[in-house]
Amino acid sequence: MALRELASLEKYLGLKKPNKYSTQGDKKVPVLQNNDADPLVGLVTIACHLVKEAKRPELLGDGAEGRAVVQQWLEYRVTKLDSHTEDTKSILKDLNLYMQDRVYLAGNQLTLADVLMYYGIHSIILDLAVQEKEQYVNVARWFDHIQHHPGVRRHLPPVVVLRNRLYTSRHH
């Protein structure tokens, strides 16, 4: 999955020449075969390298605090979501609470944290029933916003996040 995410990230970033990737170990950790230097290992390391290669520093966060928050969410993605050390329901609960008054994970604009977290939870959101999605309304709102951001979704199918509610006239 990580290799597909990196290929989608390359396209989103507008990188013209696709990189050569492989995986290592039981967990299939991505490896970027770098012609100029040693190979780069790990989803976050490679993703940050691609962002720098594309000259899109805003995706790594604004200012020292913004960059730290982006790194925090990238680490969360790898340590909690990818490692399956936590129940997905508790991850969604944590995210839902965090996103209560936010549009993006870090700051006021789309960052690499949003893109990689979106890729990471896509299959989870896809498998949720509508009633389950309604339990995580803040995550659903954020997810829907990110999936409609130009170029982000790429290889992934769109997900219907929340059903439209019809209200009777007495609720107005």
146 alpha-carbon distance from chain centroid? 9
What architecture is domain 1-85+101-120? 3-Layer(aba) Sandwich (3.40)
Contact between 12 and 151 under an 8 Å Cβ cutoff? The reply is yes
Q: pLDDT of 104-142, one tens digit each?
A: 999 999 999 999 999 999 999 999 988 888 899 999 999
Q: pLDDT of 14-24, one tens digit each?
A: 998 888 899 99
Domain assignments of the chain as residue spans, ordered by start = 1-85+101-120
What's the pLDDT at 2? 87
pTM: 0.89
What's the pLDDT at 111? 98
CA dist., res. 140 & res. 145, Å (int):
8
Question: Does the structure show a pLDDT above 60 at 165?
Answer: no
